[in-house]
Chains A and B, each alone.
Chain A
Amino acid sequence: MDFPLLSTVLLAPLAAALAICLLPRESRDQIRMIAAGTMTLATVLTLYAYAAYDTVEGGMQFTEEVPWITDLGVTYALGVDGISLPMLLLTDVIGLASVFSSWNIEKRTKDFFVLLMVLIAGVTGTFIARDLFIFLLCYEVVVIPIYIMVLIWGSTKRVPKEYAGIKLTIFLLMGSAFMLVGVVSLYIAAGGDSFGMEALAAAGQSGVLDENFQIFAFLLLLLGFGSLLSMFPFHSWSPDGYAGAPSAVSMIHAGVLKKIGGYGLIRLGLLVLPLGAKFWAPLIAALAMVNVLYAAYIAMVQKDLKYIIGYSSVSHMGYVLLGFAALNAVSITGAIANMVAHGIMASLFFSQIGYIYERTHLRSVPELAGLAHHLPRLTVGFMLAGLASVGLPGLIEFVPEFTIFVGTLSVYPVCAFLAIAGIIFTALYILRMLAKVLFGPRVERFAGVPDEQGADLVPLLLLGVFLVGFGLFPELLMGVIRSGVTPLEPLLAQLSAAPAMLGGGF
């Protein structure tokens, strides 16, 4: 390892945060430029890593290892494989887009970008960590900046932003409390000498951790990752939180942070506690099905754009959960791909909603109409995101969704059937929203609203490129993910051979 690429990607935002700290409050332009420059650098490096990743060889690449806390067995170990690399890419792309989405923030600009950079660094860390301690550390680092950002730059709609912020924070932290217990007991049970994910996974798969323990520990992890992934009934923080948060936070939160839940379930739940995963999978599948339909139904009666997308993302996370629960190579590939797809799509949505809100201070569907007349670019952004979330081919969501369906239908026929029915409801609420907001007669009130240009256009272009690019050439995404999932196949085969315990066949 010559150049510490991942460390650079991880630490660059922190360095930027520090640099911004040292600037005077008034130099807003420099602050923005630093943030944008740093994120561009990180994105370019990540893209390089994505391109240079050897999918044939697979496994952890770009690894870095420095012993850190020896008496706990913590190592500063970074690395990416086919599962984490797409997530890393997602993080940096959305991070970059969110910087531009926040371009026009004039209120306490300095504080905002410091927090945003810390947030991005935290999320980045969770995906590239190969050590559980670092994973947890980075994850929890993220929560507090979000709270402060909601508090200062958030907006009060259905619920006060203070409520939304604290709900989100406490919910996630409560989840992480269970997760911490799970992780600590895991660490002890595996011998208490290493937090390294590979070491723990080896312990889990070789039978050092007995089945009862795995079942128990997985439940704890599920509580943590499940609430992060807004699994029913732990989802209620998510729409409120997104509605309260400034758009950059919504973007990162819906786009990336939520995915830590799915990523963690695979990285820890499946790899370290395979028997636990096997035990709880049917329950997860049932809840996933509820997620898909329940949230879609609720999204249908929402008025606030952010609530619609909030519930929509709860609904989409149901597919991810379902993919996970089916525990086969295809469905898990689909789950990972779906996380990427939803990340790009949801953050595009939030950036566009953010733009509307910034310019009109309106977010309620009944109050908006006919924006297509005045804001054609925004319309394109909205349509792209909307159509992607409907699952149209040529856009990013199609192949992942299809993959999940293929992977799950044979395992959980009923759940999958109902979840697939979700595509109808998704179409229903998305199209209703698009129709109402974008189309219809010209409304003179919006005549003076300028269309997106300059920095405002960047999120649309950036996310749009990935939305369409991965849609038209899914192998760019699926190839990398496949190299990450292929090593799991023996484990998954072993699992599927074992009988289901919690009443299979939902």
Chain B
Amino acid sequence: MDFMAVQTEILILLLLLSTLVTDLAMAKGASRRPVAYLTAAGLAAILAHTCGLYHEGASPVFYMGLFLADNYALFFKQLFLLGMVFTVLFSLDYVERCLPHPGEFYSLLLSALLGMCVMASANDFLTAFTGLELMTVSFYILVGFRLSSADSGEAAVKYLIVGAGSTAVMLYGISLVYGAGGSLDFAAVSRNVHLFTAVGLAGVVLVMAGFLFKLSAIPFHMWAPDVYQGAPTPVTALLAMASKAAGIAVFMRVIFTAFPYLGEFMLPLLKTIAALSMIGGNLLAIRQTDVKRMLAYSSIAQAGYMMAGIVAADYFGMKAAMFYAMLYVFANIGAFAVLSVVDAERGGTSRRHVTGLSQAAPMLAAVMTISLLSMAGIPPTAGFAGKIYIFTATVERGNLWLAVIGFVMSMISVYYYLQVTKAMYRDLEPGEETLAEPLPVPSVARAAALVSAAATLAIGICPESLAVLTNFASQTFMQ
């Protein structure tokens, strides 16, 4: 019982409790900005604290190997924390204006975060499942948090129905794997030869389906566009970056520790799904006019890219996927920070709403463009380096066709990203002059957006620093 292994989670839980208490202690109707600041400050402190937790050698383990606090988990936890801090910061204004009960909002964010952290560290199916559900249930509520919008409620219901269905499938899979593998522990399962039977293999694919749902990979993606569109903008941001990254984290760990010997069996499947996601996500995004919905499809495609890294099934691919997950966080922060401001000010996130942004708020338009280009993989943004990492790993394993699809589709994706850029930069037509009037941008949101754009460019120009970190994290995991 090494409690040091769960120190991050404990800290988050404490923060969660303190936000609850603070919220309760505050007067009804008062601004909940203090809660937000408390959350942000607490998360930042935890983030700083986790920086010191990277280690060489054996990783701390909590309770019979259920919970493993290795560098890999740490990397993803930092990723979640980072995403969460920025989300809290850029959405301050949005939350105050658009969401009721902002105090509880922060508590729920923290509980989702807790779930993600548990997922990242999970070393057996029970822990993984618990973390996953903690996150998912929190998200059900968060998605429906915007009471003023009926779409938000609809999105939440849809997420719930599909999500519950997927939970059931995953659980069924876990039960089969348990039956075949004789244990819920990843390492123990991997050693059991019965995994190669019909029951075992069926269990494996069902478990994977559950995780792929979180990644919103095709064909488990149907919920994503509706939910992304309906959810409050900061929640969408978290769904896109953190929830997905958590899925990736646990997915990779499951594949590499629980089913490491199933490569021959799973890889064709994963390759197909990766290819489908890259193609379908990008194609579907082309017709979208709502930026959030478009980003949902785009996130499907991004999941495809990350999976392309995973199917390289080696250290390079894993590193690439982790690298990509991280840069995707920054890209998302930038894009959604802008969208939250636009959503709060102009009451929507369709292309119509961002029109003229280059004149109304040139900085936001630039950040948006940079973030979208990073998603598209255009240099000098981080996305370019990420794609190079991913596809060198892919090609190295002989999957050239996957790289062809990846590069071609990412260039097609430029088309729809540029549609947004076009809306922001184009000349205003008569009657649209009001769109050029300066948009009030909260300074915190502005700072968050700027920092994310700077990070996107910095990683793009100098990927080395992040690459070193991912190297370190993935190496310890692979030992």
Query: Which positions in A face B, CB cutoff 8 Å?
Result: 68-72, 111, 133, 136-138, 140-141, 143-144, 147-148, 151-152, 162, 166, 169-170, 173-174, 176-178, 180-181, 184-185, 187-188, 192
Contact = CB atoms under 8 A, between A and B. Distances in A.
Interface residues of B, number: 38
B364 to A, nearest CB: 14
A187 B403 CA distance: 13
23 contacts: A71-B468, A71-B471, A72-B388, A72-B389, A72-B467, A133-B388, A136-B379, A137-B384, A140-B378, A141-B378, A143-B378, A147-B418, A151-B422, A152-B426, A170-B411, A170-B415, A177-B407, A177-B410, A180-B387, A185-B400, A187-B392, A188-B395, A192-B392
B283 to A, nearest CB: 14
Interface of B: 358, 362, 369, 373, 378-380, 384-385, 387-389, 391-392, 395-396, 400, 403-404, 407-408, 410-412, 414-415, 418, 421-422, 425-427, 462-464, 467-468, 471
A17 to B, nearest CB: 12
B88 to A, nearest CB: 29
Nearest to B422: A151
A71 B393 CA distance: 12
B37 to A, nearest CB: 31
A192 B403 CA distance: 16
B340 to A, nearest CB: 24
A148 B378 CA distance: 15
Contact of B395 (A138, A162, A176, A184): A184
A414 B192 CA distance: 70
Nearest to B409: A177
B143 to A, nearest CB: 33
A398 to B, nearest CB: 38
A141 B427 CA distance: 23
Contacts of A136: 379
A162 B378 contact: no
A234 B83 CA distance: 42
Given A140-B379, A151-B422, 20 more contacts: A69-B463, A70-B464, A71-B464, A72-B389, A72-B463, A140-B384, A144-B378, A144-B421, A147-B421, A148-B421, A173-B378, A173-B411, A174-B408, A176-B411, A181-B395, A181-B400, A184-B395, A185-B400, A188-B396, A192-B396
A91 B380 CA distance: 20
A71 B380 CA distance: 18
Nearest to A147: B418
A148 B369 CA distance: 11
Given A140-B384, A181-B400, A185-B403, A174 B392 contact: no
Given A174-B408, A181-B403, A148 B425 contact: yes
B390 to A, nearest CB: 10
A180 B362 CA distance: 32
A181 B402 CA distance: 10
Residue with the highest number of chain A CB atoms closer than 10 Å, among B404, B411, B463: B411
Give me the 8 closest cross-chain CB pairs, A-B, nearest first.
A177-B407, A173-B411, A137-B379, A177-B411, A177-B408, A180-B407, A188-B395, A140-B379
A151 B404 contact: no
Contacts of A151: 422, 425-426
A184 B471 CA distance: 20
Contacts of A148: 421, 425
Contacts of B380: 137, 141
Nearest to B370: A144
A240 to B, nearest CB: 16
B395 A185 contact: yes
Given A152-B425, A177-B407, A166 B415 contact: yes
A404 B387 CA distance: 39
Contact of A174 (B358, B362, B411, B427): B411
Nearest to B389: A72
Contact of A69 (B415, B418, B464): B464
Contacts of A138: 379
B434 to A, nearest CB: 18
